[in-house]
Structure 1
């Protein structure tokens, strides 16, 4: 099939074949990695198979229930193997399982998932680290939870010490809600074909042109073969493109018009670009953007109420993060302030943790009908709309909403300088 793709791409036909300047494998990379943005068919098929496994593992569909009832009555899906006589779809699922499972992690809520086989620690199935025990698929994570806390004594008799220390740091969610599955490769934890494809495909170095101490072999006067020399100053470049130092007014006009048209189509879709050069310049100069100025100030809470302003900071390179906030009364006087280092995986998570900390402080001190302001519009909308499409912070949002309902907290958005 890819042979026909390549012929179509290079313009070949059965009567006349054109030279293929690069292999199809080299073309099937993103543009920033030296390709043309075409996806390899094998990678696409694998990503779709991973999607089947994802739906089989986390969705309660008729097909998923039927497949589990047929093949996984006595064995867990991760441990079940394909044998001769099983269906082709089950063979496909078991074949793609090893590519999908490392990128899937369960969030603990009621602990109904398998203790031995489900990946809820981030290190894969615990059964692989404890070969001396019977790995029953009916052993649940909730068997090792007492009063919403880990039973470290029972866990210590089974798992290695390093894994026990890691399990102790895993936060347990609400025991009244179901465990849910997250896709580790996505920032929001939601599975997508794009993230699956990007996770299983072959990656290539993005910067393909690297300055190396090599002399140019195309020039009579050998010079270092830099990017500038190769594309601009070399003898072949001068022969093909001419002297680039020379100013071409017509070429400049065409390039400016092209970039103007691309920008004007977005800002002014009905604007007509069919004007002479001098008139076009005059019209564009008059299309100056309006500056919308909004005064940002801090507003006091109603009499007898308090307001807590929160913020979060996250450094992706050093994996360092911190939350802070200040509580003030109706006169603007400070009641309480906090600045705490925390751990997280994204800026949105840190912002959500700051709001949750403020809500918990309000609850502990008995302030009802209070206000919490944050400069994160996304987190505030999740709290006010009572929805979270980001699985990585779903438990934080739900916990904050529960506290907000108890204490009648109003969540508001404010600009950073407010």
Structure 2
């Protein structure tokens, strides 16, 4: 909603001050509407602050419900404001009914994820400009190449992908560290039940989705300086080791009822007795050593970005010297066990130094994952050396963070089925070294039926999918005695077609010979889902599915799924028939 200026020009120095004074009156009047029981405001997430307008620059956006009485209250306030302030509502900009998407400041605005069609006009303008450049006989190169630094022979353009990541990382920082109307709204909408560090994407705005993608890189670098103990014991990085939720076994976390850090504090400092009660000894020793000078205050815990402090800068030329900054030692050992030769790789990394004091972590071999770790470390050191050589700033924490992030991303890519992958690399190694694939087993056997019932096991097979195929079914009574079995060669087709043929012929035989009620067992989950109406039938078996449904109509015939081990007889017939010409019965 815009206003037409009167009495004072927009360029006058008094204009902004007068506008702010006037809009403050309007804002207070709109907020006062929530005190009326009959007023129905704009729908907001539960526990969120009540909101019915936003003011910025010389515009005001009003949020309202479609309730007629509520709209009349808002219009009444606007008319009173117009009368008393002398500002006239710009009707051309306000109260126009429109559709999504609409263009604002040159960009399309929509209520859902933007489609490519929405940006058609913008893309056309960019292409037209590029065509004008192309006509000037300029050399062309890929965008990724021109984004490298000038001293490496490129143009030094900023990568749009990196800019986007940086913007969403900044949004995550503001969401986690600020107490604003926007951050409170996002917290109440998406994080009321779960901590921001562990909440998962389950729908919502694309902005929130991209913020979650930036979360893993951001959270490792945010340190919550303990003051009053308002941060979380398990989910905030107050110890400089990362979130304890990712570092220590879960049973430690169950030994304390609360979650706020103040429970581990006394009136003025740490409660070391409580710390030793709920945390492992090595964590307590680290707190005593690194955070022992803590003094409790009444201020909220303060967030810091760990990788930009000037006092944590280090010289890259010292990275490879032991006991000074970062140590990389790659050695191979061969140990002989009773049954096999085992190659193991040990990498020793000194993460931080303070005088002659440092922390060592050890990697031991598992699968091929450890073979990539030295390359990741050396690669990051090489990048840091080049950055330093070309005048860039490098900190020790940044180098360690990048190595940790690369190892984490490699583990996530290599082992995608592990859902709770720790974010600290030494915990990743410990997890993978101790990880054993779970042995899942289920007893599969042919089950007997009630007296008078029949079971028809069906199976289809293809020697190449599509290649020569076969279909078979066998029928047994409630005691397991064979009644009839048949298998035949099909033309060149696929597995799913062969499965459908076997089911159709088995049901047809049972219906024609009155072998009812019948349970049809198939090891094809696709056919079972199609018969139950859960999945749509593929086009190549649609006719067969309709035929099966016709034979089943008004007949006591059910189709169920069985594991292949429980369908071994029918499977035997489908393979046996390939040794014969035609069919066997």
When normalised by structure 2's length, the TM-score is 0.30
- Higher relative contact order (CA closer than 8 Å, sequence separation 6+): 1
Higher strand share: 2
When normalised by structure 1's length, the TM-score is 0.41
